[in-house]
Structure formats: structure tokens, C-alpha cells
Amino acid sequence: MTTTPYLLVRVGERVAALPALAVRRVVRGARLHPLPGAGPGLVGLAEFAGEPLAVLDLAQLLGEERRNSRPPVTVVTWLGSGSDRELVGLGVDDAIEVIELDPAALALGQALVGGRPVVVVDVERLGVEA
Amino acid sequence: MSPAAGGRSESQSLVAPAALYVAAWALGGWLLAGAARGADAPMLQPLFHLAAIVGAVLFLVFDLSTRVADPRSGLRSRLIGVFRQLGDGDLIRTAELARALDGDLAAGVARAVAGLASRVERLQANSHSVAGAAEGVERGSTVLAASSAQQAAAAGEVTAAMEELSRTAAEISEHAERQNQLVLTAESEGAAGAEAVAEAVEGVGAVERRIADVTARADTLGTRSREIFRVLELISDIAQETHLLSLNAALEASAAGGRGRRFAVVAGEVRVLAERVRDSVASVRSQIEEFASAIRSTVVATEEGGKEAARVLEEARAATGALGILRASLRESSEAARQISSVTRQQTSATEEVLSTLRELHQVVERMSRDLSQLSATSGRLRSIGLDLELLAQTFRLDSPRSLKRLVHAWAARLPEAPASAGASAQELIDELVGAAPFVECGCIVDARGRVVATQIARELRESGAEALAELRRRDLSDRAWFKKASEGSRAVVTPPETSLMSGEPCIMVAVARRDAAGLPVAVVEFDVNVRHWTEIGE
């Protein structure tokens, strides 16, 4: 069978897997400008390749409470699909590694990696609230 | 009265004077010998005079008897009688008989007799002087003996005191010396103690330096570890970046599909590398933290140790200070002991000087004592010579209050012809006679057979001698020397000192026989003069 590369990231206590093909770049120590009045998921605005980049808290998107106001690692990734694709930054605690996963895991929404449960994030379906 | 020597023949008249002449020089020689045994020359002059006069007189006798060999036997026999009396020493009788001679002869003999009598009296006076001098010497030597004994005693006391002082000084000196020794010992121990303290201080100082060293090193280590931490941080950052790089590379590789596989492998290795670096960094960091923590606790302990060492050092310094004070006071004490020792040594030598002077004094006193006892012996001999001279003088009967023979003759003359029958009057007489002559100790009148008729003793002895007197009255004195001698002739006798029956002491005994008209002895009168009182004779 064919496998698909995923990027494993740590979000709080959990490990999440993001489709590698959607990830543009992993960046550490990006400067985040906070936007007052912004929604809870929005951590701030960063700059990437000369363009502003909205950085979201992946932990909140996965339903966890915001713990870290400044996630150290930003995963620059395409959210959505097709022409609605948008480049955003996902704030995570750490980027671990790129691994190959069975695509069926995408449908399940989780997989076992090294015995540990991993949340597979479907970035195409992930909605963005502005 | 002596019987006339009528039986002598003419031929003997020359022999008799020659014999007298020889006898006179023999007497003179004896006197000189006797004087040679005695004391100083000034006393001997009367003796020489006497010998010369006696010799001259008897030469005269010889001369006269050869010239006067004439038929005038009356004058001759009168002369013989005169010279016989002279020879017997009875100068009173000689003078009486000389008056019966003719003119010049009488005058010449009278002059000779007077001269002889005066020399005998001078002899007596000199014997008294000798006795007086002896007494003076004895008194003087007694006083000297007493004072030298006192001096000796005083010197003895002073010597004892000085010896005591000397001993005490020696004890003090010894004590001070011992003290000094103790101080020296303590001083040397104190010095050792001070050295020990100094070593301790030195040791603590070394410890402190070590501690400072350690602290400095710890500081250095701390600084180094901080630097290491910074480097580690740097490396850690680099590792993180490398990790991100490897992730991004893997992402690119996955986007490149199949062509990116080899790239993905490389990216994976880089990621592994980054992880290894991260692990190493963590390990190093934890080691360094352990190390740093160990150093910190070491530094703390060391600082504690340092404080402790500082405290010990402080105490050691205080001890050094106290030791210093102690040693100073020990040195003072030692100095004081040395001074005491020196002073007592001076004292001892001064005492020694005094003691040696005292010993010399003692020797002088002893010599003086010996001289005094010789002097005492000499004075005893002088007294004895004086007594001898006196007895010699008493062999003459002189018309002088000092002549004992004259006195006893006077007593006998007052006796009645039959004293045994006179009884009470004899006792009265003897009482009066003894009372009148204070130098007479005891007097008695005995009959021709020697039985006591009457007797009396000197007033001061009547109490103590009453018993002896009663004893005497009952005795037969015919065996006494004076009785026998007195009974032989009509001359008074003076005996040398004999033991008195009365007092038991040596006495000169003077006696004479009282004869009746027929010449038979009827009584003997006798008195004792105690040798102790002979210088009072005639007073």
C-alpha cells in the first residue's frame, strides 16, 4: 500500500499529525504581533516570506484550552482546499518528525504511532474563523 | 736564857768562826737560789742585801775572834754570847747582850744589829708587797678572766647568730636558685608552647590560604560552567535549528515525491543527528549542574570551614597574647629570683667575713685565757714566795709589832709561874691575848705535859668552832711539833704551815716555853695564824 507523509507535532500533552504535503515550512521563534479583540483561536500575526501570516493555536482548534499564549513553534501550512486554500501558521509546542502513515488513518482521525495515539488533523476540512 | 758556851777550848775558837762564815755564805747561796726560783728582780734586792750583810757580819765575827784571842776571856765569852744570840736570830737578846760590851764594840755590834733588824723589817715589808702584788695580779686576772669569759660567751652568741643568719641566707639563696630553675623550666616550656601556638597559627593560616584557593577555584569553576552553559545553550539552539532544518528538508522531500526519497533519508539522518546533539547537550547540562551543585556545596562547606579556621586562628592569637604576658611575668619573676640570689650571696660573703673575724676574736680570747691562767699560776707562786720571805723574816725575833716571836714571848712573860694552878686567870689571859691580836685564829696554854690548860679562838669563829674548841680542850698536845720544839729550849719557835686541829686549815704555829726560876718548863704558850691571814700580822 502507499503511505502518506505526516508531520508529527506536539500539542500540549497530545501528539498531532499534520499532512506533510500541506506543510510549507516549520518555523521556530517567529515574531507574533498580538491582535487585540481577535478571536480566541488567533494567537497573533507573524510575517512569512514578506507576507502577514495569521497564527492559530492548534491546541484550541483541537478543542483544548489555550495554555500557551506564545507557542514556540509555528507550522506554516495550507488550510482548506482548492482555491480557498489559505496559508496559516499553526502554533504548536514542538515539531517532532515526518513519518509515513496509512491514508486510512485520515478517515479515522487518529493513528497509533509507536504505541501512542496520535490525532490526525484533516487540514483541508479545518475551518478558519476570521 | 741560853747556857753560856764556857766549855769551848781556845783551839776551837778559830774553827767556830770559820764554820759560821761558811754557814753564812751557804745561807746566802740558799737565799739566792730560792730567789732565782721566784719572780721579778726588784723584789730580790733585799735578799741580796741580806746575804751580803750576813756574810759581812760573820766575816767580822771571824776577824774579831782571831784578833780578840786574848786572855780577857770575859769579853770573849760575852762576844761569843752576843754572836750566838745573833746566830739564833734573837736580835732583842743580841742588843741586850751587846750593851754589856765595851765602847766601840758595843756601838759597832749595836749598829750591825740595827742594820740587820731594819733589813729584816724591810724584808717583811717587801714580802707583804709581794703578797699584795700577787693579790693584785690575782684580782686583776680574775676580773680579766671573768670579762674574757663574758667576751667569749658574747662572741659565741654572735657567732651562733651569724651562723644562723648564714644558714638562713644559704637557704634563701638555694630557694631562689630553685625558683629560678623552675622559672627557666616554665620559660622553656612556655617557649615551646608559644612555638606550638605559632605553628598552629601557621597551620591555620595555611588552611585559610587553601580555603581561599579552593574558593577561588570554585569561583573559576562556576564561571567556566556558566560559560559552558552558554555554549550548551548555543549548541542546543543549533541542534533545534538543525532539527527544524531536517523537518523542513523532510517536508520538501516528501513534496518532491519519489525523487525526494534520498533527500528524505539524508534529512532523516540530519534529524537524528540533531536529536543526538540534543540528548548530549541534555546529558552534559545535567552533569554540569550536578557538578556545579557539588561545587556549591563544597564552597559552602569550605566557607564554613573557613569561618571555623578563622575562629581557631583568633583563639590561637589570643592564646599567643596570653602566653606572651605569662612569659613576660615569668621573666620578671626569674629576674627577681636572680636578684635575690645575688643579694643573698653578697650577704653570705659578708657573713663569712664577720664569722672569720669572730673566729679570730675567739682565738685571741682563748690565748688571753691561757695567758691568764699562767698569770694565775705566777701569782700563786708569788704569794708562796711572799709567804716564804715572811717565814724567813719571822725566824728573827725583832723589836717590831710584826715579829711573832716577840709577841709570843710577851704572852709567855705574862703567865704566872704556875699557870696550871692559876686556872681561871690563865683562861682570862688567853682570852685577852687572842682578842688583842686579830690575825690570831686560836691560842692555847698547855702545861709541861702538853695538856690544855686554857684555850680560845678568834671572835668570828666562836660560833662555828665551838665544838672543835671543846674537843681541843680535852686533847693532849704533847705530840705536836711546836710543843716538842718549844720544850727543847727557851726560844720561840715558828713552824711552817701545818694543819690546825682547830680549823683543819693550814696555820703557822708560834710557841714558846715558860720556864721557872730553875729553868724548868712549866707551860707552853702557843697561837695559830691562818695562812690566809698572814699579811695581817702586826696590824
* Complex ipTM: 0.90
pLDDT digits (tens, 9 = 90+) for A89-105: 999 999 999 988 887 76
Q: How far apart are CA B420 and CA B526, in angstroms?
A: 15
Of residues A38 and B174, the one with the higher pLDDT is: B174
C-alpha dist (Å) from residue B34 to B29, B502, B534: 8, 32, 20
Optimal mutation site among B240, B245, B251, interface A, most CBs of chain A within 10 A: B251
Contacts of A97 in chain B (CB under 8 A): 247, 250, 268, 271
Q: How far apart are CA B169 and CA B386, in angstroms?
A: 58
- CB-facing half-sphere around the CA of A114: CA atoms within 13 A: 7
Tell me the backbone φ, ψ of residue B457, rounded to 5 degrees: -120, 165
In this prediction, residue B1 carries a pLDDT of 38
Which one of A21, A24, A28 has the shortest CB-CB distance to B244? A28
Residue A96: closest CA among chain B residues belongs to which residue? Answer: B247
Q: How far apart are CA B147 and CA B141, in angstroms?
A: 10
Residue A39 in grid coordinates:
478571536
CB burial class (10 A; 0-12, 13-18, 19+) of residue B513?
buried
- Asked if the Cβ–Cβ distance from B251 to A28 is below 8 Å, we say no
- Asked if the Cβ–Cβ distance from A97 to B244 is below 8 Å, we say no
CA distance B266 to chain A (A): 13
CA distance A5 to chain B (A): 7
In this prediction, residue B315 carries a pLDDT of 83
Q: Residue A49 has what DSSP assignment?
A: T
The torsion angle over the Cα atoms of residues B10, B15, B21 and B24, rounded to 10 degrees, is: -100
Tell me the backbone φ, ψ of residue B442, rounded to 5 degrees: -150, 140
Q: How far apart are CA A69 and CA A90, in angstroms?
A: 12
Q: Residue B477 has what DSSP assignment?
A: -
Name the interface residues of B facing A (CB cutoff 8 Å). 240-241, 243-244, 247-248, 250-251, 254-255, 264, 267-268, 271
Q: Residues B531, B533, B535, B538: is their CA dihedral positive or negative? A: negative
Q: How far apart are CA B90 and CA B403, in angstroms?
A: 11
Intervals of chain B under pLDDT 50: 1-11, 71
Any B CB within 8 A of A95 CB: yes
- Asked if the Cβ–Cβ distance from B250 to A5 is below 8 Å, we say yes
In this prediction, residue B67 carries a pLDDT of 61
In this prediction, residue B4 carries a pLDDT of 41
Which one of A7, A28, A73 has the shortest CB-CB distance to B251? A7
Contacts of A28 in chain B (CB under 8 A): 240-241, 244
Q: What is the secondary structure of A95-129 as a DSSP string?
A: EEEEEEE-THHHHHTEEEETTEEEEEP-TTT----
Q: Are strands A14-19 and A116-120 parallel, antiparallel or unpaired?
A: parallel
pLDDT at A25 over 90: yes
Q: Residue B528 has what DSSP assignment?
A: E
Residue B342 in grid coordinates:
645575688
In this prediction, residue B9 carries a pLDDT of 47
Contact call for residues A78 and A85 (beta carbons, < 8 A): yes
Residue A74: closest CA among chain B residues belongs to which residue? Answer: B244
